[in-house]
Structure 1
Amino acid sequence: MTILPLPAFNDNYIWAILHKSNNEMWVVDPGDAKVVMDFLQQNNKKLIGILITHHHFDHTGGVKELKEYAKCPVYGPHHLTELVTHPVSNTDPISIFDRSFETIETPAHTLDHLCYFSNTHSDPMLFSGDTLFRGGCGRLMEGSAAQMLTAMNRLKALPDDTKVYCTHEYTLSNYRFALSLEPDNQVLIEADTHCQNLRKQNTPTLPSTLRLEKACNPFMRTDNRSLLARAAQQINEPISTDNSQQFAQVRRAKDAFS
């Protein structure tokens, strides 16, 4: 399969999953139906499935129109009864062409958030929605720091070479914050320089890899004492002694960062 980003709104990506030998495709988090419809028509593609990671409108706004147009199945959280035809929860499998994806519940950004992971081929991949970004994680809009820490630990356990397809182009702002916590992290410095160059060419910085996230992403590095010290200093707090509260301090530091 081939995976392409379809830019939407200011910084969203709708991921198009294309069959390698026919005209069928799936999409992940189609917030804008027109973006997908234009791609289908311009490339003579047939939409045969939709994945939803969570309920926010910039991820679901185009689902109703696309479902009615394509008469295709929609996989996603159980409570989205008007949109989802196939509700899924933790460990439920989904078949997309010749690959099987496992559903991973990651409540934190929203309580219904799902990620989709495939390791049935030599190139593992993760559709992480708004849970894991390149260099960051989603804001805690409904869930807790403890839940997001659990999600980060769950995703950290996936293979290092897993490609991470998140749904926002937040990389440069995430790296600015990460560098404020780890200014001497050479992997991070090189990744930031590379992404700066990509964005100058209007090229997406995605996908990332879990190996890179574990080396650069502060929300996957909250066991680093110096990182925690800088985050706590930025919000004028002493370092907490509790792991989830330490994670919360890093998240609050990011929320306050300018």
Structure 2
Amino acid sequence: MPLQIETIPCRTDNYAFLIHCEESGETALVDAPEAAPILAALERNDWKLSHVFITHHHADHVEGLDGLKAEYPDLRVVGAADDAHRLPPLDMAVKDGDKFSFADETVEVVDVSGHTVGHIAFHLPDEKAAFTADSLMALGCGRVFEGTPEMMWDSLSRLAALPKETIIHSGHEYTMTNARFALTIEPENEALKARAKSVEAAREQGLPTVPSLLSEELDTNPFLRAHLNEVKRAISMEGAGDAEVFAEIRRRKDQF
């Protein structure tokens, strides 16, 4: 039986995700920005929270955990061993390449350092789902706060290599701004222009633009396209290395 995945808007622009198995009754949460909307979703669905998967240490991804533990004291918290010193206490510390089971489904751990060092993503191959938080985002990627552009490019390249039908569940509603920026890099990209219109229409209706298909990101997200000759030409960096081009696109976005 396929798992049910629900997107939970939190705080100003954060997203958390509930993953529920009807057969076992287990429910996992990816990141805990804010307790109240997550508890409300659990109550509405009559689900009981059993696990929390933490992607990285930033407050807007963990500060709802205490409120959730007050309601579900037996929660099992999963997070990166390399980041354990600044995460809430972990019941399971995982590293890049680790695999563990949730509701009889395999969960693969992918190191996606760059935004922070120790940031991880969770890939559920049987569900064609990846939870990437502030690494790969809809039409964007996170700022490089702790790592290097080379590190972030390597992380994004690893995510880009997942099956194209993978659904990317990212951590923030930044897509409209990301679309406007992406058009400054590839103004003639027809797929991007169509997606920007779709994103604008969704936001006008108050609808989320997360999650998104990896295939769509590969066609439209400039941060995944830094290796392409047409992108290098568009920003006058023909012949430059892929990570160098990524760094320039990230620099432009930081100033956008």
After TM superposition, the score normalised by the length of structure 1 is 0.91
Question: For 1:219-258, what aligned pairs fall within 5 Å after superposition?
Answer: 219-231=223-235, 241-257=240-256
Matched letter for residue 256 of structure 1: Q
Between stretches 159-168 and 27-36, larger displacement belongs to 27-36
CA contact under 8 A between 2:229 and 2:238: conserved in structure 1?
no
Cα distance in structure 1, aligned partners of 2:167 and 2:244: 29
Match of residue 104, structure 1, among 104, 110, 116? 110
- Which residue pairs with 1:152 in the alignment? 156
1:51-78 residue CA offsets vs partner (Å, 9 max, x unmatched)? 0000000000011332343111000122
Percentage of pairs with the same residue: 33
CA contact under 8 A between 2:232 and 2:240: conserved in structure 1?
no
Cα distance in structure 1, aligned partners of 2:219 and 2:87: 39
- Which residue pairs with 1:184 in the alignment? 188
Match of residue 143, structure 1, among 136, 144, 147? 147
After TM superposition, the score normalised by the length of structure 2 is 0.91
- Which residue pairs with 1:30 in the alignment? 32
* Alpha-carbon shift at residue 231 of structure 1 (Å): 4.3
- Structure 2: 5+ residue stretches without partners: none
Cα distance in structure 2, aligned partners of 1:30 and 1:240: 42
- Which residue pairs with 1:235 in the alignment? none
1:133-186 residue CA offsets vs partner (Å, 9 max, x unmatched)? 011111001000000110111111110100000010111111111111111111
- Which residue pairs with 2:76 in the alignment? 73
SS of 2:51 mapped into structure 1? strand
Cα distance in structure 1, aligned partners of 2:102 and 2:132: 16
Between stretches 157-166 and 34-43, larger displacement belongs to 34-43
**Using a 3 Å threshold, how does the CA distance of structure 1 residues 81 and 149 change in structure 2: closer, same or farther?**
closer
Question: For 1:195-206, what aligned pairs fall within 5 Å after superposition?
Answer: 195-206=199-210
SS of 2:68 mapped into structure 1? helix
Match of residue 193, structure 1, among 192, 197, 200? 197
CA contact under 8 A between 1:240 and 1:246: conserved in structure 2?
no
Question: For 1:34-53, what aligned pairs fall within 5 Å after superposition?
Answer: 34-53=36-55
SS of 1:6 mapped into structure 2? strand
